[in-house]
Structures are given as C-alpha cells and as structure tokens.
C-alpha cells in the first residue's frame, strides 16, 4: 500500500508530537509522585502531633475516663509514628536533587521513546484502516455506479497506460479526517473512563 508523501509528513509530525507529549507526561509523573509522598509525610506528621497534643491535653486529664482516652490517643500516636517512620524512609522523600534530575532525565527519554512508538503504532494502524476504508468506499461506489471514474484519468504514452488521480478529490480527505477524529475520540474516551472509573 502506498502512502502519499503529504500523509507521511503529517504522520511524522504526529510522531514527534507524541514523543514530546510522552516526555512531558513522564517528567510530570515523577514530580507528581514526589509531591504526593511529601504531602503524605506532612499529613502524617500533623496527625502524630495532633494525637500527642490531645493525649497530653488538660481537658482529657479532667475527665473521669481520662486514662482510657489518653491511652487511645497515645496508641494512635504510636501507630501513626510507626507509619511516619516508614514514610520518612520512603524513596520519594529521601531521593536527592541530583538523583531526581537523573531519574527525570531517564524517564524523559523513556517517555520520548514510548510516546513516539505509541503514536507510530496508532498512526500505522489508522493509516491502514483509512486506506482500506477508502478502497472499500470506492468499490461500493463503483458497484452502484460503474461509470464513476473516482477522479482517475488515463494517460497513454506509447504502449504504456498510466492512471493519474485527481489531487482535489474530497472523499479521501473526508475519510482520513473521520478516522482521525474517531481515533482521537477513542483516546479521549479511554482517558475519561480511566480517570472516572
């Protein structure tokens, strides 16, 4: 199957766009994971401080069941403190700036490759589907109306007969845009379905 030069150029631009988007998303994912880990750590520190403050509160000491309540707050604080130790020794909290930059660069390269390859695969499948759809549409039209030439002109030079296609045909462009819109909508639907569960 032959792909027109203009379509190949467009697909190459899409691949480069996919590589750029993949790299950006990969780096954003690294910083998102680090921010989530730091937020969990600060929330856990706040929780431990709250439980320790409640356990040592003069209000709790004045109540008759102060021992049970204070013990409950102290137990919660001990459990939260153990969780706090686990969070403080976590990878995303302890990673240094240099390691984070190296990790981001590595993930960026992986995102470039992944984005390029995924768009390459998607565009190759989309191109094959579009070409088959254009051919199928013209076959259906030729069966319904056999005298339809589909924008083709026969050029004869000597014993050779060439078929030249009209460059201003509308149907292939409409079908290409339709297939591209369907693929875009499917990607959008998958993303929305993934995030909304």
- Is the pLDDT score of 105 beyond 90? yes
Residues with Cβ within 8 Å of 36's Cβ and at least 6 positions away in sequence, in order, are 92
Number of CB atoms found within 10 A of residue 28's CB:
13
Of 165 and 120, the one with more pLDDT = 120
Token code pair at residue 120: 């390459």
CA distance 130 to 13: 18
For the chain, give every domain's residue range.
5-196
Report how far apart, in Å, the C-alpha atoms of 155 and of each of 11, 22, 27, 112 are. Answer: 31, 47, 55, 46
- Is the pLDDT score of 5 beyond 80? no
Average pLDDT (60-70) is 56
Q: Which of 4-13, 33-42, 112-121, 187-196 has the lowest mean pLDDT?
A: 4-13
pTM comes to: 0.65
Question: Would you call 162 exposed, middle or buried from its count of C-beta atoms within 10 A (0-12, 13-18, 19+)?
Answer: exposed
The pLDDT, as a whole number, for residue 156 is 65
Q: Tokens 């549409």, residue?
A: 137
| Digit-coded pLDDT (tens) for 27-62 | 999 999 999 988 888 888 887 777 666 666 665 555
């Amino acid at each position: 199957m032959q792909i027109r030069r203009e379509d190949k150029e467009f697909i190459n631009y899409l691949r480069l766009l996919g590589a750029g988007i993949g790299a950006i998303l990969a780096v954003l994912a690294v910083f998102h994971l680090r921010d989530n880990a730091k937020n969990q750590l600060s929330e856990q520190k706040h929780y431990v401080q709250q439980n320790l403050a409640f356990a040592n509160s003069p209000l709790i000491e004045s109540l008759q069941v102060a021992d049970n309540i204070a013990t409950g707050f102290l137990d919660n604080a001990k459990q939260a403190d153990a969780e706090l130790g686990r969070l403080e020794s976590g990878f995303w909290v302890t990673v240094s700036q240099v390691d984070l930059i190296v990790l981001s660069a590595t993930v960026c390269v992986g995102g470039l490759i992944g984005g390029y390859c995924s768009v390459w695969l998607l565009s190759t499948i989309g191109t094959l589907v579009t070409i088959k759809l254009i051919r199928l549409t013209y076959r259906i039209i030729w069966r319904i109306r056999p005298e339809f030439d589909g924008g083709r002109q026969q050029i004869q030079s000597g014993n050779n007969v060439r078929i030249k296609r009209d460059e201003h045909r509308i149907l292939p462009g409409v079908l290409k845009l339709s297939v591209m819109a369907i693929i875009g909508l499917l990607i959008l639907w998958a993303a929305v379905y993934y995030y909304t569960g």
